[in-house]
Structure formats: C-alpha cells, structure tokens
Amino acid sequence: MTVRVERPDGRPLRIWVPVLPVVLVFSPVVVLAVLGAAVACLVFRVNVARAFGAAWRIVTASPGTRVDVEQGRTAVLVTIR
C-alpha cells in the first residue's frame, strides 16, 4: 500500500506500507475483531458465513483502489496495489 501526503508547501511525502508485516503485528487485534464481528452477527441474526464471505470478497477486490482525501491545502492519497 502506498500513502502519499501532499504538504501545504507543495512537496509530496510518499510512504510505502508493507501490508503483511502490519497484519502480523496487529494479528491479536484482528482476532479480537473477528470474534467481535461474529458475536455481532449472532446478536443481529445475520448469517456469519455470508457476512465473512462478503468481507472476504471486499478485501480481495481492493487491489487497484485509490482513496483521495483533501482538507484545505493538505491532500492524502492512498493506493492499494
């Protein structure tokens, strides 16, 4: 994933974020989030398998996604490759 921040002085700052090491570092939080999502599905009577299937399809379709955010003179561009 590449994050580009355009600073107010006009110089861009590019940061490459490797996704796999970040996921490995945050894996305990991811496990808790998955368990919380499963409990939420059960509470709201949503099929857990279909909910996780939809989430997996969204994650696998994300390469090529661009997100641009502009606030005043600062802009952030996130590109998922």
Q: What is the mean predicted confidence (pLDDT) over 9-37?
A: 90
- What residue type is assigned to position 48 of the chain? V
Residue 80 has pLDDT above 90, yes or no: no
The overall pTM is greater than 0.75: no
Residue 58 banded pLDDT, cuts 50, 70, 90: very high
